[in-house]
């Protein structure tokens, strides 16, 4: 395991080396998860690209840090990690809140971003009322009290079958996140709005969404793509909010095709 001290927070990360002539892909995970959600995508990309995965503050094996914090704090952590690793011009793939972090990173440090893969996210996610209700529920009853409702948004009915042991594992992942970090990140999402900033994105961008996403539905993701100049838009079939878990092969092919297009103007065969 690899750890770094960034902005007085210990960040858990993984660096997988790749060909020197190929770009770096950075993966930022969603609320209530850690970087293990990318595993089935990573195994399909490893060896072809350098890859960076990390647990944002308040999640996984990273410190919670001082609360409250903002999406800009998360972006500052990622910028610090990339600076530490001497990475420039990476393709940043962010899922859900990870997509907000990717947008904030581009706004703060465009020198670090070669392209954006915005996956099941938006320029603005949810309402203040919805986030405040979630925060109040968790503070009163814990993360376990919202598991069923969250899983309905994360995964399709086919994935949520009782006999699917992977489904039980992802429920465990959610429940075992630090409550303080989860709540602080809920508040950060609540307060984030990149509607105006989206129109200023000037790097190749693709917006990807599962066709059954209950958190950031396709129409919301499409509206985000329409705000970003020349952004591409792709829907992953038979997937909810976390297509890297439900449809990793399809998502990997979309990412490959996008990077090929961004670099060479060509679609992946």
Condensed to tens digits (0 to 9), the pLDDT of residues 144-196 reads 999 999 999 999 999 999 999 999 999 999 999 999 999 999 999 999 999 99
| CATH assignment of the domain containing 53 | 3.40.50.1820
Task: Examine residue 239 and state whether it is found in any structural domain, yes or no.
Answer: yes
Query: How many CB atoms neighbour CB 176 within 10 A?
Result: 11
Task: Examine residue 161 and state whether it is found in any structural domain, yes or no.
Answer: yes
Task: Examine residue 260 and state whether it is found in any structural domain, yes or no.
Answer: yes
Confidence band (pLDDT; 50, 70, 90) for 265? confident
pLDDT at residue 268 greater than cutoff 50:
no
Task: Examine residue 269 and state whether it is found in any structural domain, yes or no.
Answer: no
Task: Examine residue 35 and state whether it is found in any structural domain, yes or no.
Answer: yes
Rounded CA separation 114/158 (Å): 36
Number of compact structural domains in the chain: 1
Per DSSP, which regions of the chain are E strands? 2-6, 9-16, 24-28, 50-54, 90-95, 113-119, 205-210, 232-236
Question: Domain residues for 245?
Answer: 2-264
Rounded CA separation 132/130 (Å): 6
Task: Examine residue 62 and state whether it is found in any structural domain, yes or no.
Answer: yes
Rounded CA separation 126/109 (Å): 25
The backbone torsions φ and ψ at residue 22, rounded to the nearest 5 degrees and listed phi first, read -110, 155
Task: Examine residue 252 and state whether it is found in any structural domain, yes or no.
Answer: yes
Q: Is the pTM of this model over 0.85?
A: yes
Task: Examine residue 17 and state whether it is found in any structural domain, yes or no.
Answer: yes
Query: How many CB atoms neighbour CB 145 within 10 A?
Result: 12
């Amino acid at each position: 395991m690899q750890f770094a001290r960034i902005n007085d927070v210990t960040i858990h990360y993984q660096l997988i080396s790749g060909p020197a002539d190929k770009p770096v892909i950075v993966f930022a995970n969603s609320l209530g998860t850690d970087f293990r959600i990318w595993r089935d995508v990573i195994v399909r990309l490893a060896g072809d690209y350098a890859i960076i995965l990390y647990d944002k503050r308040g999640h996984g094996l990273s410190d919670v840090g001082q609360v409250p914090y903002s999406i800009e704090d998360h972006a500052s952590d990622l910028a610090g990690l990339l600076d530490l690793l001497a990475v420039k011009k990476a393709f940043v793939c962010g899922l859900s809140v990870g997509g907000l972090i990717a947008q904030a990173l581009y706004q703060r440090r465009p020198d670090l971003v070669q392209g954006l893969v915005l996956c099941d996210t938006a320029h603005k996610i949810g309402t203040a009322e919805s986030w405040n209700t979630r925060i109040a529920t968790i503070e009163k009853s814990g993360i376990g009290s919202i598991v069923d409702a969250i899983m309905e948004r994360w995964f399709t009915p086919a994935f949520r079958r009782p006999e699917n042991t992977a489904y039980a594992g992802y429920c465990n992942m959610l429940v075992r996140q630090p409550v303080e970090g989860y709540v602080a990140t809920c508040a950060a999402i609540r307060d984030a709005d990149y509607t105006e900033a989206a129109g200023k994105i000037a790097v190749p961008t693709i917006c990807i969404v599962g066709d059954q996403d209950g958190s950031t539905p396709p129409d919301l993701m499409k509206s985000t793509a329409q705000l970003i100049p020349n952004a591409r838009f792709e829907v992953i079939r038979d997937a909810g909010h976390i297509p890297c878990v439900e449809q990793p092969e399809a998502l990997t092919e979309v990412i490959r095709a996008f990077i090929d297009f961004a670099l060479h103007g060509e679609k992946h065969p």
